[in-house]
Amino acid sequence: MIRLQADLHTHTIASTHAYSTITENCSFAAKNGIKCVAMTDHAMTMPDAPHCWHYHNLKILPRKIEGVTVLKGAEANIIDYDGNIDIDDETLGYLEWVVASFHKYTCKPSTVEEHTRGYLSIAKNPIIDIIGHPTTSMFEYDMEKCVKAFKEYNKIVEINESSIMWKNGSRENALELMKLCKKYEVFISIDSDAHFHELIGQAPLALEMAQSIDFPSKLVINSDFDMLREYILSKRPNLDI
């Protein structure tokens, strides 16, 4: 069975529709065998996002809280179909981890062709680590074409527990996406997208789906902290992790 050692998409009270602090998130993670938590609050065009100073001041956080490694990051919003995100270069310089996601609040849903073009464009951005929740029916796209691009540009594809649970079409799309990632040997990350600390590292629906298709644990980047660390250092060799 696949067991998670990291949760690479989580929120704190800095995103005001979330309800826990980074310390609460890490405390729960430590009690449940999660070795690493990526703190990825929403970037600035989201209506409830923190001010840019939140990201500029991430340096004050220790590397570990409650014994859990903290990756200091953000969930960037993809704001158009040319692959642009809503984080400026200065702010990106303070980040160690970047999830990039489509949200209806920051990019108006369009056609399959436009969504596909957007994902193909974002795949080429070297600062992006994870393609966030690419399973909602609101942003349908040519999944196979994009998975090939994610492979080419070394992007991690997220299987998002919260989306599977709450977003229309995500359960079926997530299963199809996992099958394609298995076929083309693309790394996935099974994440909680937690907005409350007791959800950190919890992804029973996604894990059950992965097991149902015998998805290989070697392709689940957050199932092994050493494997995750190797990926991080390949992109950010000076990071003290």
pLDDT in tens, the chain (241 residues): 899 999 999 999 999 999 999 999 999 999 999 999 999 999 999 999 999 999 999 999 999 999 999 999 999 999 999 999 999 999 999 999 999 999 999 999 999 999 999 999 999 999 999 999 999 999 999 999 999 999 999 999 999 999 999 998 999 999 999 999 999 999 999 999 999 999 999 999 999 999 999 999 999 999 999 999 999 999 999 999 9
Q: Residues 122, 87: contact at Cβ < 8 Å? A: no
Measured distance CA(126)–CA(67) in Å, rounded: 30
Q: For residue 111, which of 140, 134, 143 has the smallest C-alpha distance?
A: 140
Return the sign of the alpha-carbon dihedral for residues 114, 117, 119, 121.
Answer: negative
Contacts of 204 (CB under 8 A, 6+ apart): 161
Measured distance CA(199)–CA(29) in Å, rounded: 9
pTM assigned to the model: 0.97
Report the first-to-last Cα separation within the chain, whole angstroms.
27
Amino acid identity of residue 6, one-letter, is A
3-class secondary structure, 36? strand
Phi-psi region of 227 (alpha: psi -120 to 50; beta: other; left: phi over 0): alpha
Domains recognised in the chain with CATH numbers: 6-235 (3.20.20.140)
Q: What is the dihedral of CA 14, 22, 203, 106, to 10 degrees?
A: 20
